[in-house]
Amino acid sequence: MNRPTPRLVRGLVTAALSSALLAAAVGTAVPATAEEDAGEEARRKPTLIQVKVNDRGPQVRSSLFGINHRYARNGFGLWDELLDKPNPTVVSDMIAAGVSTLRFPGGTTATMYHWKDAIGPVPERGCQVEGHGHYENEGFTAYRHKLAYGPDEYMRVIDATGASPLMMMPFVTTTPAGAADWVEYMNDPLGGRNPNGGTAWAAERAANGHPAPYGVRRWEVGNESHVAPGRFGFSAEPRKAVQQYISGGRRSIEREELGKACAHPVEGIPSSGKVNQRFEVLFTPAEIQHVSVAGVRWTRVADLAAAEPEDKVYEVQPGGVIAFGDGRLNPNDVWIGNGRIPQAGAIVRATYRNDYSGFFAYAREMHAVDKSIDVCASWGTPLFSNSTRKRRYDCQTAHPITNFSREYGHNWRPSARPWNGPLEGHDRMMMALNDRTGDVLEMLKASPQRSPVWLTEFQPIHGNDDNFPTWSASVSNAVYMASQWSTWMRFGINLGTGGDLLGRGPGAVFGSPQHPTFSVEALVRQAIRPMFSEADRVVTSTTLRNPTRAPNLRPRDSYKALSVVSARGP
């Protein structure tokens, strides 16, 4: 009986060509009929991969094997708050998968992170604002518990795993001075310069149990800043928005319904009618112009303690906090306290200006603390490089993520256009590889040679779960991730962090400590790790007669069967 021979589309093969040479070829197999194969075999000669072992290219960098992680929920279970140490199973998995770089405090989740509220004794730490949201129509939720995984705990994970640190500096609600303070906290020696004056952050670090500086060398300012027009008040016009990121600007916020304790629903949080309430603006630093309670403007005072109990007054405190007093009627109908309490159920609104600084101001202040660090821009498209031709910067970051819900025009929502099945899902993933490769090539072409591009997130997300429910655990996803790593190696990218370390969704590399999963991405990392640990240089390879598949899902779209990268030892 004659069995049909598989037609090669894409899959993963790792082979040692000699003791000093490694090569990876990416491909998978989709069965064809016997009749189709008989015709093709008659026409097609064998595919040939030629490797020029002495034609050396970019250096192979283990720092491409990084991973993104988020601070919330005790690092999604990475940090054991009761035992005050990282989860040993996760640490072992990270070592087994060769994780070389760990990003902190995360991506979109951490865009409003306040690091000064994340250090010191855990019971004394403040709340945090979840970065996923929209200030006009969704609002932002709060994290108030399970916040034991802060900068110091993160560095203990770094020590336990041998990974290198990569810090994402929030751009939305931080200032250059606050960014410089964080660099000082992480890197300044005890008894050092304290360049900004005020709090000696190295002494604070020592008081929190780590006298020696951590020496964090890699920093990025913001996360996916080019998508900020939809969330943080940048201009909707990209050329204006990039200038806001480069040079700073001003947000004018009219009658914002204020939140409390890091929660910012769009409708605001009503007054509880209790004493000494504190409301918060969303964007800081804030220049408050006026505040109203239930539509009536109240008066700003320098000190609530000097106010009469019936006075409709408020005090502005650091960090954009609007404070009210405790003035009320006692059981004898006598007014007591200082400053009237907003009535229960009233919405507090503020009109204010937020003057924010641009990337270069951040980089300047951070370098003033530690000249040895790299400070990356996070605009994520060639527009940043094209807009800063004569200005020097260390590096920039991009996120070549395939969001299949966006491919279908539904931003951040599950796809409304289902795949017909696993084969279409596979085809769309492979075509998306071509798209992301093109995106990164454009970044590299636009970027100055002295300013490398780091890929601080890359993976497919929001695949169609209805007709391909196992897409994230499929060979197709393995091919996708392996192909990306092989491509970044050929391009000479020197730092990358694929998916998220832990979580409940398909993007989590190790699942969660409660439901541990050695995911497809983890398996790919383990399989191709020898190329990063043993090889020294990429060498030239050519694929002759590389089969092409044209699935006719998009006009003039096709992809090659094999994606090949070859590398050799020293």
For the chain, the straight-line distance linking the first and the last C-alpha, in angstroms and rounded, comes to 49
Same domain, 345 and 377: no
Query: 230 pLDDT band (50/70/90 cuts)?
Result: low
Residue-wise pLDDT for 373-382, tens only, equals: 999 999 999 9
Say yes or no to pLDDT of 76 above 50: yes
Task: Return the higher-pLDDT residue of 231 and 221.
Answer: 221
Highest mean pLDDT among 26-40, 225-239, 498-512: 498-512
What's the whole-number mean pLDDT along residues 58-62? 92
Does residue 67 contact residue 94 with C-beta atoms inside 8 Å? yes
Q: Is residue 12 included in any domain, yes or no? A: no
Same domain, 109 and 183: yes
What's the whole-number mean pLDDT along residues 417-441? 92
Say yes or no to pLDDT of 338 above 60: yes
Same domain, 321 and 378: no
Same domain, 276 and 373: no
Q: What is the pLDDT of residue 466?
A: 86
Q: What is the pLDDT of residue 231?
A: 65
Q: Is residue 264 included in any domain, yes or no? A: yes
> Using CA atoms, how far apart are residues 347 and 256, in angstroms rounded to an integer?
10
> Using CA atoms, how far apart are residues 73 and 112, in angstroms rounded to an integer?
16
Say yes or no to pLDDT of 296 above 60: yes
- The per-residue DSSP string of 372-408 comes to T-EEEE---SHHHHHH-TT---SEEEE---EEHHHHT
Same domain, 368 and 506: yes
Please state which of the ranges 436-445, 447-456, 523-532 shows the lowest mean pLDDT: 523-532
Percent of the chain with pLDDT over 90: 75
What's the whole-number mean pLDDT along residues 292-301? 98
Query: 43 pLDDT band (50/70/90 cuts)?
Result: low
What's the whole-number mean pLDDT along residues 348-358? 97
- The per-residue DSSP string of 71-134 comes to -HHHHHTTEETTTTEE-HHHHHHHHHTT--EEEES-SGGGTT--GGGSSS-GGG---EE-S-SB
Say yes or no to pLDDT of 353 above 90: yes
Q: What is the pLDDT of residue 41?
A: 56
Please state which of the ranges 115-119, 233-237, 436-440, 469-473 shows the lowest mean pLDDT: 233-237
Q: Is residue 7 included in any domain, yes or no? A: no
Say yes or no to pLDDT of 8 above 50: no
Same domain, 287 and 193: no
Same domain, 347 and 395: no
Which pTM value belongs to this model?
0.90
Strands 296-300 vs 287-293: parallel, antiparallel or unpaired: antiparallel
Q: Is residue 285 included in any domain, yes or no? A: yes
Please state which of the ranges 3-7, 498-502, 508-512 shows the lowest mean pLDDT: 3-7
Q: The tokens 């069967």 sit on which residue?
A: 561
Say yes or no to pLDDT of 567 above 50: yes
Q: Is residue 302 included in any domain, yes or no? A: yes
Same domain, 321 and 383: no
Please state which of the ranges 42-51, 84-93, 442-451 shows the lowest mean pLDDT: 42-51
Task: Return the higher-pLDDT residue of 180 and 134.
Answer: 180
Residue-wise pLDDT for 255-278, tens only, equals: 999 999 999 999 999 999 999 999
Same domain, 346 and 375: no
Does residue 354 contact residue 284 with C-beta atoms inside 8 Å? yes
> Using CA atoms, how far apart are residues 351 and 360, in angstroms rounded to an integer?
28
Same domain, 375 and 330: no
> Using CA atoms, how far apart are residues 388 and 374, in angstroms rounded to an integer?
17
Cis peptide before 265 (omega within 30 of 0): no
What's the whole-number mean pLDDT along residues 508-522? 87
Query: 417 pLDDT band (50/70/90 cuts)?
Result: low
Domain region containing 345: 249-355
Same domain, 345 and 366: no
Q: What is the pLDDT of residue 406?
A: 65
Query: 556 pLDDT band (50/70/90 cuts)?
Result: confident
User: Which two three-digit tokens encode residue 3?
Assistant: 């069995």
Same domain, 241 and 127: yes
Please state which of the ranges 13-27, 89-103, 132-146 shows the lowest mean pLDDT: 13-27
Q: Is residue 168 included in any domain, yes or no? A: yes
Query: 407 pLDDT band (50/70/90 cuts)?
Result: low
Say yes or no to pLDDT of 17 above 60: no
Say yes or no to pLDDT of 163 above 80: yes
Query: 5 pLDDT band (50/70/90 cuts)?
Result: very low
Residues sharing a CB contact under 8 Å with residue 159, sequence separation 6 or more, in sequence order = none
- The per-residue DSSP string of 156-207 comes to HHHHHH-PEEEEEE-SSS--HHHHHHHHHHHHPPTT---TT-SS-HHHHHHH
Strand partners, 264: 140
C-alpha torsion sign, points 232, 238, 244, 249: negative
As a whole number, the mean pLDDT across the chain is 89
Does residue 367 contact residue 305 with C-beta atoms inside 8 Å? no
Q: The tokens 């398909």 sit on which residue?
A: 506
Residues sharing a CB contact under 8 Å with residue 198, sequence separation 6 or more, in sequence order = none
Q: Is residue 27 included in any domain, yes or no? A: no
Q: Is residue 241 included in any domain, yes or no? A: yes
Q: What is the pLDDT of residue 32?
A: 42
Domain boundary among 355, 370, 386: 355
Count of the separate structural domains present in the chain: 2
Output the CA–CA distances (angstroms, integers) from residue 11 to 16, 355, 424, 480, in the order listed. Answer: 17, 51, 16, 9
User: The CATH number of the domain where 453 resides is what?
Assistant: 3.20.20.80
